[in-house]
Chain A
Amino acid sequence: MNEIVLETKNLTKYYKKVAAVYDLNIQVFRGDVFGFLGPNGAGKSTTIRMILSLIKPTNGKIEIFGKDLKKHRSEVLKRVGSLVEKPDFYNHLSALDNLKFIGSLNGNVDNNKIKKVLEIANLIDRMHDKVKNYSHGMKQRLGIAQALLNDPELLILDEPTSGLDPNGMHEVRELIKTLSSEFNTTIILSSHLLYEVEQVATRMAIINLGKLIVQGKVQEILNDEKQIIHIKVDNLQKAFELLKNENYVSDIKIEDVFIKLTAPNNKTSDINELLVKNQIKVSSIIPKRTLEDYYLELTQNEHPKMRMKKNV
């Protein structure tokens, strides 16, 4: 069985009487690229801050590498790298001096290691420049560099591609894939970019209003039960009449050159067979359930007033 690297148990944080995070139970396994999703104010940042000991939980427990974070904070965080929200540094210092200082917080990190992470972040030529002269993208890359300083087993990245140009975003995604595949680094990736999570994450959790909605393997979640299918055929009307009578088909309609319908995910071949048997030429059958569809379906129906409140 896969080793659990991080586990939250009934993790709860109240601000005054309102729960920012409520009874959250998530598990991250070794080697996971764990997508952590949720709309603004869902409690993602509060959870990440609790995992990094910036915020004290009101209730519940966090275990990292099987150890209670509260009791073994230093020992645990020595093996964790992180970039929380926007990358802020000491602007009056150079990138090199910033990394020297940050390295000292983790014990001593030698200069070769610092230069190596600066090379990964493509900042080696600018390492003597003061950070105040850096662009947002450069700061973001420096943020990733500092997170890698201690060769972390667990890397927590909060919106790591924010502010980067498409090339920069691609580089970060490739870096995440490399760290995961070559170094077996476990990565928690909090992001608003669903496309990004869909591309790199192996497992994910979605939270809203402080509560966990779903967690599991990305492919399993997206292939769960029913899916939306787009079908392109030579005779739209005939295909529509034929399919609407099938009892496993729902929400069927013609849109532009497609028939759109909802059906169980194991029925795609049955649909194809039915159409072909009735002399309808099928150009394409595309299961269209994306993470975005799924995410919106889960998060749109919840209202902020449904957030948990403390009983007085």
Chain B
Amino acid sequence: MFRILYLEILKTFKKWRTYLGFLTVGIIIPLVATAIKLSGEHLDKGIMRQFQEEFIIVGNLFNGWFFSHLIMNSLFIHIPFLIALVAGDILAGEATAGTYRILLTHYASRTKILIIKYITTLFYSLLLILFLAILSLVIGHLFFSNGDLLILGKEILLLPQDELFFRFILSYLCAVVAMWTVASLAFLFSSFVENAIGPIIGTMSVLIIFLIISEMPIEIFENIKPYLFTTYTSVWMKVFNDPIPYSEIYNSLKYLMLYSLTFFTATLVYFNRKDILS
């Protein structure tokens, strides 16, 4: 089991598509940081202008933590796309390449192969989020130094810098669980078809539709909101509330894991009955 898993991970990470996500994150973060830095104080003042009349701002609020928090907004659409790019290909890619015929005619059962591929998908998602976290925090601090974190939401919060390391770790861990749910959905779609484009578009379509429904203040949508997984994927944001709502976070994580398990079980049931015609 572990040898197949090791070789499956190696196989996945020898594909250029796998590095597309890392490459994108690796380019975007330094690029954004450089652009902000080059803009000098204009951007800093632009963002803070609305508060300067009512608050006395002491210290550097546009700091590394603020930058990393800003980058985390990519967890709504951009990072899910990069995850779907690999998760949507992990099964459909075998069909496209015709390698199902080799993969599924040996001793290893379909269930075992599916578990190995699922773990590989989760591992990739974990690495991408880790990369996003490390790069945004390191680059943020290199470019913009340290300070307290200003949270601009329904209310304005200023979180002291000595709490921030813990909050960011917790937040990124929540993001990992949220992205695992997105990966599980792409993985399910990937088992249906013989081309990776379908699962990628399918996953993004579901995500965008659900996010729109979640944001619309319409009664009928309010009723179905608790049943949409996207209601819980923004769990990482809750970590920046004060105090941290542990109970809400726990519930969101519980639902996200339940959704992931449901998507995986559906894949398992479907894939074990699927006729391989490719």
- Chain A positions within 8 Å of B, measured between CB atoms, are 49, 52-56, 73-74, 77-78, 80, 82, 84-86, 88-93, 97, 100-102, 104-108, 146, 150
Contact = CB atoms under 8 A, between A and B. Distances in A.
Given A54-B100, A88-B99, A104-B4, A82 B105 contact: yes
Contacts of B11: 90, 93, 97, 101
Contacts of A150: 106-107
Nearest to B10: A97
B97 interface: yes
B3 interface: yes
Contacts of B8: 101
Contact of A73 (B4, B16, B109, B277): B109
A89 to B, nearest CB: 7
A101 B4 CA distance: 7
Interface string B1-15: 001100110110011
Is chain A's binding surface mostly helix, strand, loop or mixed? loop
Nearest to B108: A105
A54 B99 CA distance: 12
Nearest to B93: A90
Given A86-B98, A89-B102, A90-B97, A107 B7 contact: no
Contacts of A80: 105
Contact of B275 (A54, A90, A91): A54
A6 to B, nearest CB: 14
A100 B6 CA distance: 11
Given A101-B11, A104-B3, A106-B107, A54 B101 contact: yes
Contact of B276 (A55, A73, A82): A55
Interface string B78-106: 00000000000000000001111111111
B273 interface: yes
A49 B104 CA distance: 10
B266 to A, nearest CB: 18
Interface residues of B, number: 27
Contacts of A56: 273, 275
19 contacts: A49-B276, A49-B277, A54-B100, A54-B101, A77-B107, A80-B105, A84-B101, A86-B98, A88-B97, A88-B98, A92-B14, A92-B15, A102-B102, A102-B106, A105-B103, A106-B106, A106-B107, A107-B107, A108-B3
A97 B276 CA distance: 24
A77 B102 CA distance: 12
Nearest to B272: A56
Nearest to A13: B275
Contact of A53 (B4, B15, B99, B105): B105
A54 B101 CA distance: 7
Nearest to B103: A105
A88 to B, nearest CB: 3
Contacts of B15: 92
A74 B275 CA distance: 17
- Residue among B14, B15, B105 with the highest chain A CB neighbour number at 10 A: B105
A88 B102 contact: yes
A105 B117 CA distance: 13
Contact of A146 (B3, B102, B113, B276): B102
